Chain A
Amino acid sequence: MTNTAGEQREPTLPAWLSRLVRALWGFDVRVHALPMAANDFTARRPRFAGSDLWLPSSPLVGVPGSFDDYLFAACAHVSAHLRFGAPRFEIRSLKPAQVAITSVLEDARVERLAIEHYPGLATLWAPYHQARADSAKTSSSLLARLARALHDDTSLDDDAWVSKGRQLFMDGRAEWHDANLCRRIGSTLGNDLGQMRVQFDANGYAVQPPYRDDNTGLWHFDQELGEDGSQLELEGVRRIESDVPAVKQREQGEPEERPARCSGESEPAPGISLALGADVTIASKHPEWDYVIQRERPAFCSVFERPVEPGHTARLVSEARDAATQKRLQRSASRLSDRRAVRTRRLLDGDRLDLPAALGAVVSCHGGVIPDPRIYSRVRYTLDPPALLLLLDLSESLNDVPRDASSSCLHLAQRAIALLAISLSTTTRDWAIHGFSSNGRHDIGYRRFKDFDDPYDEHARSRLAGMRAHSSTRLGTALRHAGRALALRRARRKVLLVMTDGEPSDIDVHDSEYLLFDAKQATIQNRRRGVLSYCLGLDAQAEMSVARIFGAGNYSLLREMECLPQRLTEVYMRLSA
């Protein structure tokens, strides 16, 4: 689960964590690993912002239980904030102690609500509450004891302040759905703490127990307050000041925050001039569906088939031999080449008698009719795979390196295809790898990396290795072009497997709905031609658009890019079953 290899690698977290949040609450979060190197405890504690969640990637010192349990506890706690939390609190005139106490109360409130849904969480969180009722009455220990008292109904803490906090919290039970309760009780308890002359040590304070986040996700820190109000040196504030650059950097890697896909068109690819080049075939014209006028615009888009610059296959080949991945795929692949028995009946000769036909013949004899001599059957073992066209969206965004991956989406896609190709090429040649990228409706580039009936040989591999991603995604036209090629195949079933990482877009289209409707229309037209489309979405965030284009049941989404080879093979198996 954690790194076993000795070398320096990106810290990773088990993949089940983000799915767990979906299972529990029905929404998605992005789980990121915090760097392992940091020795500072506060730099490694869980935190969240929006639907991004950061968790440590290796066990923390002094935390009881297994690391998996710790991650589960932390993930469940943060997701409870996301599920039951209110908009961030305003700090306004609150003192640091009040901020800390309110946070403890808010932690308890969301946990209580979560436990109402999932009682098992109570036993999960309990072992981390280790504050003892006889510990010294410092602010830190009192807060930890309050946290325990709020969590555990059976804890025996007779400290007056802790008991008061618990009493107020339990009395407000009916208002647990309202976060303002915490703010109210928090100010009261904060004042009490001041009157008890207990110094609140903002510098030494760390939220307890350790599975809880640092509370930065709960508060709206006013910039001015954060800078001049040095009294707010809470753990959370320290975090915010030191980590903002790191967090920002990570966020900039986000798909939705990257600059508009089409803006940086560095590649000079004007369609008309290239169309006259020797190595480019003549444009194919395709219509486009305009949902506003509910009509097709005939011959609206031009597709140019472009040659592919071969690349170096060494890396691709060595990765395809990668033992670990191969092993994982082995089972799927063996099922892929599993042969199915197909019985052909009513044959003139065959291995065995076709009983119903033989009976029919006897019946005919009895009836005085000349019997049909085709009374044998034969069992043939065959795979009968569908004709498959793998269509890749080769737009600029494919060059992004996903957060959970070690290389770009493009590279992962190449690797996945290379692996699938090994299994496919042993059974059939009736499959192809095509890709597209667009630069306005007059210039949609279409590349064939491996065409139908071509062998998957060194040439095909070098073209695959030479795959480049740039420009935009005019999906509908590409679907039509690919559908046309596939419709010509003789196979009984024709499958267009589309791999795309987002919704269609192009530089000359500003209405985001337009290309979406067009792609949907193209899918429907393909279906009429006997071509079934299935989409493997590389960006889980794009579910809405993918679902609308391809329809329920005709797509699946990839959560972790690293699983692409496995998922691609699974999808293929499912389609050819």
Chain B
Amino acid sequence: MSEGPLDAFRIRREPYYRALAGEMGLFEAAYTARLPVMLKGPTGCGKTRFVEHMAWRLRQPLITVACNEEMSASDLLGRYLLEGGSTRWQDGPLTVAARHGAICYLDEVVEARQDTLVVIHPLTDDRRLLSLPSKSETLRAHPEFHLVVSHNPGYQSALKDLKPSTKQRFGAIAFDYPARELEVEILMHETSLPRDLAERLVSVAEAARRLEGHGLDEGISTRMLVHAGSLIGQGIAVEAACNMALIQPLTDDLDLTSTLSAAMRACL
């Protein structure tokens, strides 16, 4: 295996991840079967961390692409560059992963335009082919190549969704915020807060999550709790840290801010 191009994408240290249910086993099975995986779930619940952890666990390099609307197929596949008087082909991230064998992770995949995503179709069925039209090359994917995408069905505009023909190529693992006990544990690990305080922060998050669909698009995520925890670790007062990391980023609505502040006071 030519390791060179993928060295930068190897994960050396274990990223912390606390298993929630059977998701590790599911991912490993899907990886073994080379079934492309879709991770669904709210913002900040640990999807990206999970992929990083699994890449480390499977000892595979991980190439992450943050998708956006301006992304074109050649941003994924690669393009010719001019070098002096001649041209040179530069593989895109998807091609690198398929050519050399890595996990390719397309983050927030619905943000990409639908027609861009069609390039992954032949890669994700049993052909495992990647066609590079501008290079007149059809690349057979490396046996170790694996495709993972993530998307957040919650807050996305109703107009943004994957095509059924794209969706059906994936096995999907649904994520949600961790159960209370687990979330406390995660928070304590990530921020070294004492248990009592971690529990109270999680209560604030749970209160906000009950407002999803009642004014809030998404509740307070585990990531935001970790942010609050690290501010507290810096010596910021608990209420001020919660206000900065949990409440203010979530909403600009004054009534909702008042609700969340009151709920926070009840928790702390």
Contacts and interface: CB of A to CB of B under 8 A. Distances in A.
Contact of B262 (A16, A343, A554, A577): A16
A63 interface: no
B263 A362 contact: no
A2 to B, nearest CB: 14
Interface size class of B (residues with CB under 8 A): 35 or more
A556 B265 CA distance: 27
Contacts of A118: 203, 266-267
A19 B259 contact: yes
A360 B86 CA distance: 12
B207 interface: yes
10 contacts: A16-B262, A22-B211, A23-B207, A25-B210, A28-B214, A118-B267, A345-B72, A356-B74, A557-B214, A575-B159
A72 B259 CA distance: 10
List 10 A-B pairs, minimum CB-CB distance, nearest first.
A16-B258, A16-B259, A118-B266, A23-B207, A19-B259, A23-B263, A15-B255, A120-B266, A26-B210, A120-B268
B208 interface: yes
Given A24-B207, A120-B266, A575-B159, A363 B259 contact: no
Contacts of B81: 359
Interface string A543-577: 00000000001101101000000000000001101
A76 B214 CA distance: 19
A120 B80 contact: no
A557 B266 CA distance: 26
Nearest to A114: B266
A82 to B, nearest CB: 14
A119 B266 CA distance: 6
Contact of B214 (A14, A117, A559): A559
Nearest to A573: B157
A16 B255 contact: yes
A534 interface: yes
B217 to A, nearest CB: 8
A489 B263 CA distance: 46
A539 B110 CA distance: 31
Interface of B: 70, 72, 74, 79-82, 86-87, 134, 153-154, 156-159, 200, 203, 207-208, 210-211, 213-215, 255-256, 258-260, 262-268
A490 interface: no
Interface string A42-86: 000000000000000000000000001000100010000000000
Contacts of B74: 356
Contacts of A247: none
A260 interface: no
Contact of B267 (A120, A366, A553): A120
Contacts of B200: 119-120
Contact of A359 (B79, B153, B154): B79
B87 A363 contact: yes
A553 B158 contact: yes
B267 A575 contact: no
Contacts of A524: none
Given A343-B70, A575-B159, A557 B213 contact: yes
Contacts of B153: 553
Contact of A120 (B214, B258, B265): B265
B216 to A, nearest CB: 9
A23 B211 contact: yes
B210 A23 contact: yes
A360 B215 CA distance: 49
Interface size class of A (residues with CB under 8 A): 35 or more
Contact of B213 (A119, A343, A345, A556): A556
B259 A23 contact: yes
B214 A19 contact: yes
A360 B134 contact: yes
Given A19-B255, A121-B266, A359-B81, A366 B211 contact: no
Contacts of A554: 158
Given A22-B214, A23-B211, 9 more contacts: A19-B215, A20-B259, A22-B211, A24-B263, A120-B200, A121-B266, A360-B80, A574-B157, A577-B157
B79 A72 contact: no
Interface string A348-391: 00000000100110110010000000000000000000100000
Contacts of A553: 153-154, 156, 158
B135 to A, nearest CB: 10
B87 A359 contact: yes
Contacts of B260: 23
B83 to A, nearest CB: 11
A343 B203 CA distance: 45
Contacts of B268: 119-120
B82 A359 contact: yes
Contact of B157 (A25, A359, A575): A575
Contacts of A23: 207-208, 210-211, 259-260, 262-263
Nearest to A15: B255
A364 to B, nearest CB: 10
B158 A532 contact: yes
A574 B155 CA distance: 10
A16 B211 CA distance: 11
A574 B214 CA distance: 16
Nearest to B219: A23
B134 A14 contact: no
A95 interface: no
A19 B154 CA distance: 20
Nearest to A386: B159
Given A24-B207, A362-B87, A559-B214, A124 B159 contact: no
Contacts of A72: 262, 265
A24 B214 CA distance: 13
Nearest to B264: A120
Contact of A124 (B82, B208, B266): B266
